[in-house]
Amino acid sequence: MNEYFERLYTLIGQEAFGRLQQKRIIIFGVGGVGGFCAEALVRSGVLNITLVDDDVVNGTNINRQLPALISTIGRPKVEVLLERFKDISPDLNARAIYKRYTEETHDEFNFSEYDIVIDAIDSLSSKIDLLVQAYQAGCTVYCSLGAALKLDPTQVRVASIWQTKGCPLGKLVRTGLRQRGFTGDFKAVFSEEKRPVLSEEKAIKSPSVLGSAMPVTSMFGATLASQVLQNI
């Protein structure tokens, strides 16, 4: 066994670690949540991982996103992370797909090539389509719900998509799934924290941007990765 991952396989056992290394994982969205999820999995010894995102690093990402550095502004996030991860795990079989997942592009993704699909995208319609397509293909699915407008990482929870509480995005996702006739189930990461009430001195309001903080988005990502490890 590689010494890089000794602490992990000592924790979960060599048999489970071997299964983990065989899993083929694809992560949609590698921003504030997905980037931390991906790194946690790579540092846990995952060998086969695909990153999907069509965004480039910009200045507003600096406060919470793993690929965001002054030196990486303007570069595709998937490209930055791919370089980083190969420096962490030289044997990594990683692929970066610089593309947006939508209902129009879903045929470009062959879900039969993957065992685990992790949803960390923002668009509601695309999220719902991804969840349905991945589940129907027989993949194990994990979903990130709303990490924005939160400040308390201790209120991050995991539940069935049908049982999340206090998350407006979860309600919208359930409605969309029902409209698609979806009756399956999968785990979702969400927060029970109510929207923080901040004074004008502490918040800069924008009609197009939802405030978010790294302690929460990184916890969402770490929790998604933890679900993979716990259910391997």
Please report the pLDDT score of residue 206 as a whole number.
Answer: 47
**C-alpha R_g of the chain:** 17
3-state SS class at 197? coil
Q: Is 3-230 in CATH node 3.40.50.720?
A: yes
Query: Cα–Cα distance between 223 and 179 in angstroms, integer?
Result: 28
Closest alpha carbon to 13 in 41, 47, 37, 45? 45
pLDDT tens digit sequence for 156-206: 999 999 999 999 999 999 999 999 999 999 999 999 998 765 544 444 444
Q: Please tell me the total number of residues recorded for the chain in this structure.
A: 232
Instruction: Give the lowest-confidence range in 18-32, 125-139, 204-218.
Output: 204-218
- The single-letter DSSP state of residue 90 is T
Mean pLDDT, range 17-25, rounded to an integer: 95
Per-residue confidence band for 207, with pLDDT thresholds at 50, 70 and 90: very low
Query: Cα–Cα distance between 226 and 41 in angstroms, integer?
Result: 8
Backbone conformation region of residue 204, classed left if phi is above 0, alpha if psi is from -120 to 50, else beta: beta
Q: Pairing between strand 48-52 and 93-97?
A: parallel
Query: Cα–Cα distance between 94 and 112 in angstroms, integer?
Result: 17
Please report the pLDDT score of residue 157 as a whole number.
Answer: 98
Beta-sheet strands, E only, within the chain: 24-28, 48-52, 93-97, 116-119, 140-144, 156-160, 187-191
Tokens of 157: 């929870």
**Residue-averaged pLDDT of the chain:** 92
Mean pLDDT, range 125-134, rounded to an integer: 97
- pLDDT of residue 74 exceeding 80: yes
Please report the pLDDT score of residue 116 as a whole number.
Answer: 98
pTM, 2 dp: 0.93
The position carrying tokens 């979702």 is: 188
- The single-letter DSSP state of residue 121 is -
Of the two residues 211 and 174, the one the predictor is more confident about is: 174
Q: Where are the domains of the chain?
A: 3-230
